[in-house]
Amino acid sequence: MSAIEGRNAVFEALRAGMPVRSIMIAEGTQPDRTLDEIARLAAEVGVPVVRVPKRELDAKSERGSHQGVIADAAPYKYASLDDVLARAEGKERSLIIALDHITDPGNFGAIVRTAEVVGADGVLVANARAAAVTPAAYKASAGALAHVALAQEANIVRSLVRCKEAGYWIAGASEHAKQNVWQAPLEGRIVLVMGSEGEGLARLTRETCDFLVSLPQVGKVGSLNVAQATTAIAYEWLRRAAPEA
């Protein structure tokens, strides 16, 4: 990743101490609170801020939604599964979200955002045939990629087995599950495995799971997309730990 697009994403990258080399802001952009904070944080850490014609940002933008600001950053540094497991060592409650070859950067970024919001200890992704950290993913995460331990591993199934050895139960999301989120044992140390947008969980991944879980549905339209479903299930994990009112 060499570019971070969008005001919130650039702000969060600076706030998290990511290695930003420079920041470009479109000429004529009206100042606002977030841009002011970007300028302030950049000045604190010595990152140059330059004004450039909007067409330069348009040419660099992956999706054309840069909101008038793009940061040039060093390549993203992935964690390892060992790093994620170390963060959770000794905890009675821990959530890891594993993505079984999810390819859409928007879904990927939104899932990382959910992981950060619910307090997951990390996100596990494959290093091939899967979405990577790109400007589009970073923007969709609203900066959460700066705060979440993202482990990139060669073999998801082997990684799930290692998580089992570390005391996790593996819960796979599937519309064919016999139990829904209200019934499933989502307490404690859980790896939530989400399948790809088109195929769902791969066979070997599904067979490695300790149990499958679905979301109840009463409407007539199709099921939620993978990012929305991840949010719903992750919040059920979080709710189980909340003290009763």
Q: What is the pLDDT of residues 218-241, one digit of tens each?
A: 877 767 789 999 999 999 999 988
pLDDT of residue 1: 52
pLDDT of residue 176: 84
Over the chain, what is the mean pLDDT? 90
- Does 244 have pLDDT greater than 60? no
pLDDT tens-digit readout, 34-54: 999 999 999 999 999 999 999
**Integer angstrom CA distances of residue 244 from 29, 74, 177, 239, 240:** 47, 44, 28, 10, 9
- Does 145 have pLDDT greater than 90? no
pLDDT tens-digit readout, 59-117: 988 777 799 999 998 888 899 999 999 999 999 999 999 999 898 989 999 999 999 99
- Does 161 have pLDDT greater than 70? yes
Burial (0-12, 13-18, 19+ Cβ within 10 Å), 132 = middle
Separation between Cα atoms, residue 159 and residue 84, nearest integer Å: 11
pLDDT tens-digit readout, 128-138: 888 888 767 87
pLDDT of residue 35: 93
Please name the amino acid found at residue 27: E
Local confidence band at 27 (pLDDT 50, 70, 90 cut-offs): very high
Give the distance from CA 13 to its chain's centroid.
14
What is 3-73's CATH number? 3.30.1330.30
pLDDT of residue 245: 35
Separation between Cα atoms, residue 99 and residue 124, nearest integer Å: 6
Local confidence band at 243 (pLDDT 50, 70, 90 cut-offs): low
So where are the chain's domains? 3-73, 81-241
Domain topology for 81-241: Alpha/beta knot (3.40.1280)
Strands (E), the chain: 3-5, 20-26, 49-52, 69-73, 94-100, 122-126, 150-153, 169-173, 189-195, 211-213
